[in-house]
């Protein structure tokens, strides 16, 4: 039934509309929040905002069910029972902040500042990166656990930047609307970045060809002209054989290559090892399709290219994305309309990404202590190509072994037990800590292990300048729509308070959330109050910006032969290497574990581990399902809807999911979604060992040698029916 409006609701002017910016994923769309009597009653897309133009995804539309959820943590809490026992007591902010500050200080004095770190992974935490870095910098603490640093953005960041100085194959840069061809590699934007998917459909409406490369027949693949069902983890072989076709058939942009690229001849020689016939054997894609895709991308200019997690979770990810980056460059699609456009934020903006790296940077001798700095200098070292993150699996190992030094305290701003491979080791690591603080909206399996909980504000309850990952030129103003529910508090405010109560020095530039907001936009000639009135500022898009100063690489050129990689001892040209646990590299193991497992395909209603308790979202995707080909299922005696065990080799254990039979997958490949837990289960583990795929994935080496990625898309498993008594 439609809710009847009361007379007071009908009265004009009783509802205030606040223009602000969503943060339920990295798209960060413009929204209008309708507020009545201090309570948000509705959220709508902002029709003028350049990122979403009025549209909004289910996550954004259901945000009020997070804000006013009966289970939301509204007050600071401290643990009263054993860790993980689920016994909590409400405390005052004063007590919480004093306890947290004093305990961090104690750990710092006893074990050194390198023993303290914080973890994060979602869009909301992106915005507290600045104040958390201020806290780390004030302590001289080098470790920063961006828990998906080794595979989310940074394989792309390193590969793109080492090649042509900019990160362009993730979100924002592909100019789908103006493309004649789009190559979407290892991602499903319909589910992961709905605004990008909308741009893809606009481009398609204008006649662009779509090529999707994915082991799954995804929503995006259903709209494609060409879908290449690549064997999981064989993307390097596919990219190299496509390069072979493009170079040998001379389909590349000769003028661009002659003027702007170095090392083309070495590449020509290298790709002779990778003809499409060979590629077909390795990738399980027809030779003809490889050739067709290469021709389609190279001959329909301008063409845009997107790479996502599917190519990032392998032990050869950086070289894979290097090959793809080179393909994009030699076809002349860099920084042109309809190609992959370089970022250019409004002039004068102090970016939330640049402040931590530049203004709050720690001295090199401190940075060099960072976990991963020696092993993965381009990820964790000083200088880095991507932003100074510790290597996540190594941090977990350090928490357990105390080597090379102890890590004893963590401020967890995400659900590490669900978001990081090797969940059982993560649990051991967290239990091993002296002090664990948590900030999240709900009592997650990770928060249940904490000592103190500091509840954060949602985006409706705070304000800040927002740099969406899905744009190259726009900054938007988030503004407060309602007062925080309960005693929740802006996380930046909490961070500055902890800095002060630890007796540390906050940065000179800004010492409160309000000061940060003004500081960030000051260079654009506005105060934050002015900026809120504008709502957003977009810098006019310009193309071929490299023509002024060259590319941001040591030689100023597109380095097909990468001088930086040569300097660090990596292969300066891309190559193919099999993942460690596949039917090709481990044929004996594959006899016992015959299926290839891919994990982590997204659903639009979830963001990582978030939203399982949101009724409007959970009902759309109520349970985790293992997707399996009907022929394979029949062979295993599995029917649609049966509960099945998914078991990994090498003693990593097994988890349960419901089988969903679909022809979307190759018969030898199964797919399991990630991050599953069950908030409705009231025991303090909240079912995080039932269906959490990260519980059976390894965080042990071998890693990608450059970025330290783990092979989560393409390891072995076996699947069998759960017996009644289990």
Phi, psi dihedral angles at 607 (to 5 degrees): -130, 110
**How far is the C-alpha of 577 from the C-alpha of 528, rounded, in Å?**
50
**How far is the C-alpha of 171 from the C-alpha of 178, rounded, in Å?**
15
What own/partner pairs with CB < 8 Å and gap ≥ 24 does 536-540 have? Answer: 536/30, 536/49, 536/50, 536/474, 536/475, 536/476, 536/477, 537/346, 537/474, 537/475, 538/50, 538/346, 538/471, 538/473, 538/474, 539/344, 539/345, 539/346, 539/347, 539/473, 539/474, 540/473
- Using CB under 8 A, which of 126, 198, 322, 686 touches another protein? 198
Of 371, 469, 472, 415, the closest CA to residue 612 belongs to 415
Q: Nearest approach, Cβ of 221 to another protein (angstroms)?
A: 8
Number of Cβ atoms within 10 Å of the Cβ of 450: 27
Is the Cβ of residue 16 or residue 522 nearer to another protein in the bound state? 16
481: left (phi over 0), alpha (psi -120 to 50) or beta: alpha
Of 689, 694, 684, 677, the closest CA to residue 448 belongs to 684
Give 90's strand partners.
77
Q: Nearest approach, Cβ of 167 to another protein (angstroms)?
A: 25
**How far is the C-alpha of 252 from the C-alpha of 209, rounded, in Å?**
18
Strands (E), 39-83: 39-45, 77-79
x/- letters, 584..623, toward another protein (CB under 8 A): --------------------xx---------xxx-xx---
Is the Cβ of residue 190 or residue 670 nearer to another protein in the bound state? 190
- Using CB under 8 A, which of 1, 70, 250, 724 touches another protein? 1
307 binds another protein (CB under 8 A): no
> Looking at the chain, how many residues does it have?
726
Structural element, H or E, at residue 654: strand 653-661
Is the Cβ of residue 62 or residue 97 nearer to another protein in the bound state? 62
- Using CB under 8 A, which of 3, 7, 8, 724 touches another protein? 3
- Using CB under 8 A, which of 13, 38, 205, 503 touches another protein? 205
Is the Cβ of residue 58 or residue 157 nearer to another protein in the bound state? 58
Q: Nearest approach, Cβ of 187 to another protein (angstroms)?
A: 14
Of 364, 366, 414, the closest CA to residue 392 belongs to 414
Number of Cβ atoms within 10 Å of the Cβ of 594: 16
Q: Nearest approach, Cβ of 148 to another protein (angstroms)?
A: 23
x/- letters, 231..270, toward another protein (CB under 8 A): ----------------------------------------
Q: Which of residues 171-190 bind another protein (CB under 8 A)?
A: 190
672 binds another protein (CB under 8 A): no
223 binds another protein (CB under 8 A): yes
Q: Token digits for 650?
A: 């090498």
- Using CB under 8 A, which of 18, 100, 197, 564 touches another protein? 197
Q: Nearest approach, Cβ of 311 to another protein (angstroms)?
A: 21
**How far is the C-alpha of 31 from the C-alpha of 236, rounded, in Å?**
40
User: What letter would DSSP give residue 308?
Assistant: -
Is the Cβ of residue 557 or residue 611 nearer to another protein in the bound state? 611
Q: Nearest approach, Cβ of 215 to another protein (angstroms)?
A: 13
- Using CB under 8 A, which of 20, 52, 333, 471 touches another protein? 52
Q: Token digits for 65?
A: 């069910």
Segment interacting with another protein (CB under 8 A) among 192-200, 375-383, 415-423, 497-505: 192-200
SS3 465: strand
Is the Cβ of residue 190 or residue 324 nearer to another protein in the bound state? 190
Phi, psi dihedral angles at 108 (to 5 degrees): -60, -45
- Using CB under 8 A, which of 35, 74, 91, 201 touches another protein? 201
CA 38 to chain CA mean position, Å: 34
- Using CB under 8 A, which of 220, 458, 473, 674 touches another protein? 220
Is the Cβ of residue 56 or residue 136 nearer to another protein in the bound state? 56
Q: Nearest approach, Cβ of 201 to another protein (angstroms)?
A: 4
Q: Nearest approach, Cβ of 628 to another protein (angstroms)?
A: 13
- Using CB under 8 A, which of 18, 56, 152, 212 touches another protein? 56
Q: Nearest approach, Cβ of 681 to another protein (angstroms)?
A: 18
Distances (CA, A) of 34 to 481, 532, 536: 8, 17, 19
Token pair 């809710």 is found at 3
Q: Nearest approach, Cβ of 619 to another protein (angstroms)?
A: 5
x/- letters, 12..51, toward another protein (CB under 8 A): ------------------------------xxxx------
Is the Cβ of residue 223 or residue 654 nearer to another protein in the bound state? 223
- Using CB under 8 A, which of 269, 592, 631, 663 touches another protein? 663
Dihedral sign computed on CA atoms, order 371, 375, 378, 384: positive
CA dihedral 246, 252, 254, 260 (to 10 degrees): -110
- Using CB under 8 A, which of 16, 39, 50, 55 touches another protein? 55
Q: Nearest approach, Cβ of 52 to another protein (angstroms)?
A: 8
> Residue 168 in contact with residue 395, Cβ under 8 Å?
no
Cβ contacts of 603 within 8 Å, gap of 6 or more: 191, 620, 621, 673
Is the Cβ of residue 56 or residue 330 nearer to another protein in the bound state? 56
Is the Cβ of residue 45 or residue 574 nearer to another protein in the bound state? 45
- Using CB under 8 A, which of 16, 35, 39, 54 touches another protein? 54
210 binds another protein (CB under 8 A): no
Structural element, H or E, at residue 380: helix 377-380
Phi, psi dihedral angles at 695 (to 5 degrees): -70, -25
Q: Nearest approach, Cβ of 683 to another protein (angstroms)?
A: 23
219 binds another protein (CB under 8 A): yes
**How far is the C-alpha of 305 from the C-alpha of 298, rounded, in Å?**
11
User: What letter would DSSP give residue 561?
Assistant: S
Cβ contacts of 149 within 8 Å, gap of 6 or more: 379, 386, 389, 390, 391, 392
Is the Cβ of residue 219 or residue 690 nearer to another protein in the bound state? 219
Size, binding site for another protein by CB under 8 A: 45
Segment interacting with another protein (CB under 8 A) among 57-65, 246-254, 679-687, 713-721: 57-65
> Residue 153 in contact with residue 181, Cβ under 8 Å?
no
Residues that bind another protein (CB under 8 A): 1-5, 42-45, 52, 54-58, 61-62, 64, 190-191, 194-195, 197-198, 201-202, 205, 207, 217, 219-223, 227, 604-605, 615-617, 619-620, 662-664
């Amino acid at each position: 039934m439609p809710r009847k409006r009361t007379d007071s609701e009908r009265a004009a002017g009783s509802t205030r509309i606040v223009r602000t910016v969503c943060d339920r994923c990295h798209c960060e769309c413009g929204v209008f929040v309708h507020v009545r009597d201090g309570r948000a009653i509705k959220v709508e897309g902002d029709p003028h905002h350049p990122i979403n133009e009025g549209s909004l995804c289910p996550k954004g539309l259901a945000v009020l069910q997070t804000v006013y959820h009966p289970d939301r943590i509204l007050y600071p809490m401290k643990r009263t029972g054993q860790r993980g026992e689920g016994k909590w007591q409400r405390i005052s902010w004063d007590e919480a902040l004093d306890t947290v500050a004093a305990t961090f200080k104690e750990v710092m004095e006893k074990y050194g500042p390198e023993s303290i770190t914080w973890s994060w992974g979602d869009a909301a935490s992106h915005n507290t990166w600045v104040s958390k870095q201020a806290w780390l910098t004030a302590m001289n603490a080098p470790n920063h656990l961006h828990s998906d640093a080794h595979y989310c953005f940074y394989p792309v960041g390193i590969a793109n930047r080492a090649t042509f100085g900019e990160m362009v194959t993730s979100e924002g840069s592909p100019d789908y609307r103006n493309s004649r061809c789009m190559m979407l590699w290892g991602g499903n934007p319909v589910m992961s970045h709905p605004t990008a998917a909308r741009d893809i459909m606009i481009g398609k409406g204008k006649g662009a060809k779509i090529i999707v490369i994915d082991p799954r027949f995804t929503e995006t693949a259903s709209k494609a002209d060409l879908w290449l069902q690549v064997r999981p983890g064989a993307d390097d072989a596919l990219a190299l054989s496509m390069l072979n076709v493009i170079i040998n058939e001379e389909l590349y942009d000769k003028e661009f290559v002659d003027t702007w690229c170095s090392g083309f001849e070495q590449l020509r020689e290298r790709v002779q090892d990778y003809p499409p016939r060979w590629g077909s054997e390795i990738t399980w894609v027809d030779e003809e399709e490889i050739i067709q895709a290469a021709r389609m991308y190279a001959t329909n200019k301008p063409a845009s290219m997107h790479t996502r997690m599917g190519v990032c979770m392998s032990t050869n990810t950086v070289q894979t994305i290097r090959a793809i980056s080179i393909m994009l460059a030699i076809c002349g699609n860099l920084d042109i309309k309809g190609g992959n456009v370089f970022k250019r934020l409004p002039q004068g903006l102090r970016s939330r990404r640049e402040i931590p790296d530049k203004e709050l940077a720690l001295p090199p001798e401190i940075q060099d202590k960072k976990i991963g700095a020696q092993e993965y200098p381009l990820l964790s070292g000083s200088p880095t190509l991507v932003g100074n993150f510790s290597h996540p699996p190594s941090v977990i190992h350090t928490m357990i072994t105390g080597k090379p030094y102890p890590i004893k305290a963590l401020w967890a701003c995400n659900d590490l037990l669900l978001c990081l491979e090797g969940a059982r080791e993560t649990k051991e690591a967290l239990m091993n800590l002296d002090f664990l603080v948590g900030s999240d909206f709900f009592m997650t399996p990770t928060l249940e292990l904490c000592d103190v909980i500091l509840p954060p504000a949602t985006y409706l309850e705070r304000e800040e300048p927002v740099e969406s990952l899905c744009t190259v030129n726009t900054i938007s103003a988030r503004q407060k729509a309602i007062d925080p529910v309960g005693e929740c508090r802006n996380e930046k405010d909490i961070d500055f308070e902890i800095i002060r109560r630890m007796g540390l020095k906050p940065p000179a530039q800004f010492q409160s959330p309000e000061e940060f907001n003004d500081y960030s936009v000051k260079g654009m000639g506005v105060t934050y109050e002015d900026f809120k009135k504008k709502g957003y500022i977009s810098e006019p898009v310009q193309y071929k910006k490299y023509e002024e100063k060259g590319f941001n690489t040591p030689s100023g050129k597109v380095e097909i032969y990468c001088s930086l990689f040569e300097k660090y001892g990596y292969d300066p040209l891309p190559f193919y290497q099999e993942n460690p646990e596949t039917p090709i590299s481990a044929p004996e193991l594959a006899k016992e574990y015959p299926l290839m497992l891919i994990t982590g395909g997204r659903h639009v209603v979830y963001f990582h581990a978030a939203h399982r308790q949101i009724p409007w979202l959970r009902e759309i995707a109520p349970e985790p399902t293992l997707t399996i080909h009907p022929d394979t299922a029949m062979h295993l005696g599995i029917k649609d809807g049966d509960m099945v065990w998914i078991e990994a080799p090498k003693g990593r254990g097994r988890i349960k999911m419901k089988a969903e039979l679909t022809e979307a997958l190759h018969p030898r490949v199964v797919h399991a979604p990630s991050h599953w837990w069950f908030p409705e289960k009231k025991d303090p583990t909240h079912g995080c060992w039932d269906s959490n795929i990260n519980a059976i994935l390894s965080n042990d080496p071998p890693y990608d040698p450059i970025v330290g990625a783990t092979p989560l898309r393409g390891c072995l498993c076996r699947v069998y029916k759960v017996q009644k008594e289990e």
